[in-house]
Structure 1
């Protein structure tokens, strides 16, 4: 039985909607202790084959057996164990950690194998000494030559045994002399019983091997044995051992149990200690939720109008005309503004209140006389019918589009399209119905509206030509400030003076967001102070606990506890009580926030804030519990035992 058996190995990759097969039914046996070279040009599939051999990748089809055990059916952890215990990789680019010394790089695999530090350091030093690097143990990769770095990577491959050495172009980045030295070392490893597999495109490198397998376009096209390898080596045992527990896991668990037992024994003091943390964490959660809710409420109100909008209104100090309209803006101003750069839309508007009548019913509603671009500006779609167009404006068409509230009030279940509605006794034909919008941020019913062509409204309904506003939609919001200046300049030229005010929604949004963020940070800081006060309470209680339990500490030391055990014990108690307070505080904060939401306050909870509050609570336990724990750890055992 071969050490490695590949049968009909295929590997496919998905490229776009097509599958590309890189390996086409590879059959290959590799004996234990064999020195094998897999040779092929770039793109031949040799690297893909190496990844499958080293359990870095799995084949799309076929069977891979290692020492008689099927690899293709192993899960991720079993494959990782194989890579860690059976394989060692030597890469062309070395792949050494730049900040680690030579021996630390070599010892890296042993960390994951659970080897104690001293044992892995000794083994790393022995391996490096065997490769002639005993003087370079503390050197970092940038202090080593290419050949020395490659030898470090060879030592790393042997750290956990390296029964199979996979070398991918091991001489590709080396000069000739260093390359020959590396190949000699790989040959020596083969003679020592390691199975060595070299991936290369160089025939000179392949000539060092006992056997050369040639691959081309995903197919094996040659298999030549130059010489017989050494006697058969014993196969590796590939049964993964039972994973041992993490170091000191039982000790940590016991510390938690004893901490809970101690806290339960002094439950009243524990509750009082918890209370400070609960108040602090709960205050953080609630105050930041209130701040975020208030911010979002204001932002939503601004976003209802659009953040890329400039709303131009007459200056209140100008002369007024009938119905409180200021004689400043006219429809021609909107046409002129539309020609400015970065302007998508320019929508003039006149609005007011009227009495609407249809089907024998009268209601008071609002009227908006606008241009045909109004639905695009508001991103408001039609539910039925059509919206008036530029031709309707040109011919002063007596048509109207109504909102859902007007439709329900005047037409109930009947179809309003084609019917007439009287606005202050002037007939208008309904040609469209807008979709439901609901209430605005101010609580106004946006569907209680009748929308008319601007020309028709100014002539037939309002009897004057002055606008209440012109709303501009800009294309590039990053240029909105420059566009605002250009609009004001244009209107000043047209009117002979600066007689308008501009409301920049983007600037307003930024200003409001910054203000609300500042307020939120202020609220969070106030809550954080209460959490800090809770931490001081934890330290005070832990100091009392240490004073009360000096005799217990002496007993623990007498029975073999180290200082770090005592330190860990009291730190665990501090962290446990703070973490419990954090959990209760988060729950209390959520409950209070939900109650405030029921009372109509805008509340937005943040999961990251809750998690951060809990982590801060546990961190405060660690921080403020350290001094009492250190005091306990430094007690003299004899003096502690004598304290009764």
Structure 2
């Protein structure tokens, strides 16, 4: 006799639960030749199902050796055992063990997926097998739409999908009516006649009588073996994918993995939607928060920039001290501005004196700010006149009662009428309107810069404000590269005119802009971090749902392992499902976040759309699926296949 296809030498199997040990098989010795039709018969609890699991490489013996074609399977790694199940064994289970969410065709295709057979080829082969078994009109039916006999035929077709050399049938007629049982036994005989090695596990002597060889087992030991092996017959070969073909990589093609994931997620649609909701809210929050934060930052920077970045602002008061209520620390004078104007790199030094005033035109009164200044203000502030002219040096020298109105003041007093040449009363002093400033907008601190009236410095000091000290000096410099040196020169010039008393302070607008930018960036990061927390919560939701998924689909995992899935296949499948959920949720979250941010922008909130936050949010969602999906996937990939197949 040639080397037997299957040889068991002194096989024993003991299960341990803590200190409790249960021996199911004892010193089993058995040879099965290729092409035999063997029935292993025994009562419930005799160990026959455990023997089948060992034969099909779903379980490992505790003692003894299992040789397949002369090779000791104890030397096989997990992937080699998966290859053996995939290429050599075809399982027909009493409970059919079909995937509920898959059609008959898809159930039959499962072993070929893990064998790497191209999609079109396996689809065609599955349909041919089902048609041959009389299910040509049931190709797209799900298990719940098939009778018991039809489900068992699907199970047989699945066992034949990869042209399995050995068919292992566990109580193949146990859940069928008499006619369906006879049909299944007839199919097993046909498979034997085609050269397959058929091993039937049964407790029914009538079923066992169809086999050529009967092996009886009781209390984990073989008590009878008819020992009538059929002559060895070569099994016909049906082409399946080459194991070394690139298509046989884990789950062969990413598209197939995604399709399987979508089908599984669709089976629990409501739960999937709830899981998606957590990711959608998290991603949308990140997108909206960062868009709002970036928009607010840009708006503040634009306002500061609109005032000019090549400016030095001189204000009264010693550094790090607060100005007193009576303004006694205000010691800036026009002479200080004149001294600053003489410094190299200074284009203009504009003195400013501020106060509040009520402006009247006809019967309309309006309270606003009045700024007494010099002719250089439009240059220093980069604030041109929209119509008319600005005050000049002659107006200042002759104490002229002329005024230039900001856009807000002009609109409130004159509406759409042209105010040039008209007179307004300020403190009962008539001032002629000689110009209207262009619209400037809000200041960085939120004040309306257009709510102001400009008058000559001397006129304002004498007739409106009643003080001789300046509130500030705005200095425009030429070369920003010399800003620090110019600031120091101005400081020394004013300090000298103040007899060495440092009762003023100078701010560099460029430095202020940089500091504000850093502050706003911190604010944006804070907003993004808060939003990321909701994304984290969504990720935890994904992990919880995937853990429930793994638990609910334990039997499905066992089915996939029995049909040849590697550990990496199961790991990838559940990770892909988590990633698909997160990716879909991420895409919906991005769309929802952009739409919500667009609505805020429509209602006046400053929003800045950039690609970075969108990619960041979607990338985080994708990473969330990958990270939080790993633990459930790892749990599924390391399930005991025997335990998994017996799960409810």
TM-score by length of 1: 0.54
Report how far residue 338 of structure 1 moved: 1.5
Report how far residue 265 of structure 1 moved: 1.4
Aligned CA distance change for structure 1 residues 394 and 539 (closer, same or farther; 3 Å): same
How do 1:555-574 residues align onto structure 2 when only pairs under 5 Å count? 555-574=559-578
2:615 is matched with which residue?
611
How do 1:306-385 residues align onto structure 2 when only pairs under 5 Å count? 306-315=308-317, 327-359=330-362, 362-385=365-388
SS in 1 for 2:543: helix
* Alpha carbons 2:356, 2:370 under 8 Å: kept: yes
1:493 and 2:486 matched: no
2:254 is matched with which residue?
252
Report how far residue 381 of structure 1 moved: 1.7
* Alpha carbons 2:317, 2:330 under 8 Å: kept: no
SS in 2 for 1:514: helix
Aligned pair count reads 399
1:578 and 2:603 matched: no
* Alpha carbons 1:539, 1:625 under 8 Å: kept: yes
* Alpha carbons 2:308, 2:382 under 8 Å: kept: no
Aligned CA distance change for structure 1 residues 395 and 276 (closer, same or farther; 3 Å): same
SS in 2 for 1:510: helix
1:484 is matched with which residue?
487
Aligned CA distance change for structure 1 residues 630 and 501 (closer, same or farther; 3 Å): same
Aligned CA distance change for structure 1 residues 468 and 574 (closer, same or farther; 3 Å): same
TM-score by length of 2: 0.54
> 551, 554, 559: which is aligned to 1:550?
554
* Alpha carbons 2:247, 2:253 under 8 Å: kept: no
1:525 and 2:529 matched: yes
Aligned CA distance change for structure 1 residues 319 and 277 (closer, same or farther; 3 Å): closer
> Which structure 2 segments of 5+ residues have no match?
1-245
* Alpha carbons 2:586, 2:618 under 8 Å: kept: yes
* Alpha carbons 1:270, 1:577 under 8 Å: kept: yes
Report how far residue 294 of structure 1 moved: 4.0
2:402 is matched with which residue?
399
Structure 2 Cα separation of the partners of residues 379 and 250 of structure 1: 65
SS in 2 for 1:344: strand
* Alpha carbons 2:360, 2:413 under 8 Å: kept: yes
Report how far residue 573 of structure 1 moved: 0.9
- Residue by residue over 1:121-159, the C-alpha shift from the partner in whole angstroms, topping out at 9 and shown as x without a partner, is xxxxxxxxxxxxxxxxxxxxxxxxxxxxxxxxxxxxxxx
1:621 and 2:625 matched: yes
1:261 is matched with which residue?
263
1:281 and 2:296 matched: no
SS in 2 for 1:280: helix
How do 1:163-202 residues align onto structure 2 when only pairs under 5 Å count? none
How do 1:498-517 residues align onto structure 2 when only pairs under 5 Å count? 498-517=502-521
Aligned CA distance change for structure 1 residues 410 and 290 (closer, same or farther; 3 Å): closer
- Residue by residue over 1:54-110, the C-alpha shift from the partner in whole angstroms, topping out at 9 and shown as x without a partner, is xxxxxxxxxxxxxxxxxxxxxxxxxxxxxxxxxxxxxxxxxxxxxxxxxxxxxxxxx
* Alpha carbons 1:542, 1:625 under 8 Å: kept: yes
> Which structure 1 segments of 5+ residues have no match?
1-244
2:212 is matched with which residue?
none
Structure 2 Cα separation of the partners of residues 366 and 301 of structure 1: 19
1:454 and 2:457 matched: yes
- Residue by residue over 1:264-289, the C-alpha shift from the partner in whole angstroms, topping out at 9 and shown as x without a partner, is 21234323433442343233234334
Instruction: Find the structure with the greater CA-based Rg.
Output: 2
Aligned CA distance change for structure 1 residues 385 and 599 (closer, same or farther; 3 Å): closer
Report how far residue 469 of structure 1 moved: 0.9
1:270 is matched with which residue?
272
* Alpha carbons 1:570, 1:625 under 8 Å: kept: yes
1:539 is matched with which residue?
543
Structure 1 Cα separation of the partners of residues 599 and 323 of structure 2: 51
Report how far residue 442 of structure 1 moved: 4.8
1:471 is matched with which residue?
474
Structure 2 Cα separation of the partners of residues 453 and 474 of structure 1: 23
Structure 2 Cα separation of the partners of residues 320 and 623 of structure 1: 59
Structure 2 Cα separation of the partners of residues 390 and 602 of structure 1: 40
2:389 is matched with which residue?
386
Structure 2 Cα separation of the partners of residues 412 and 557 of structure 1: 82
Structure 2 Cα separation of the partners of residues 403 and 588 of structure 1: 41
- Residue by residue over 1:507-565, the C-alpha shift from the partner in whole angstroms, topping out at 9 and shown as x without a partner, is 33322322232233233334334433433443343233234333323433444545544
1:299 and 2:293 matched: no
Aligned CA distance change for structure 1 residues 599 and 433 (closer, same or farther; 3 Å): closer
Structure 2 Cα separation of the partners of residues 516 and 409 of structure 1: 34
* Alpha carbons 1:326, 1:468 under 8 Å: kept: no
For CA contacts below 8 A with separation 6 or more, give which structure has more relative contact order.
2
2:122 is matched with which residue?
none
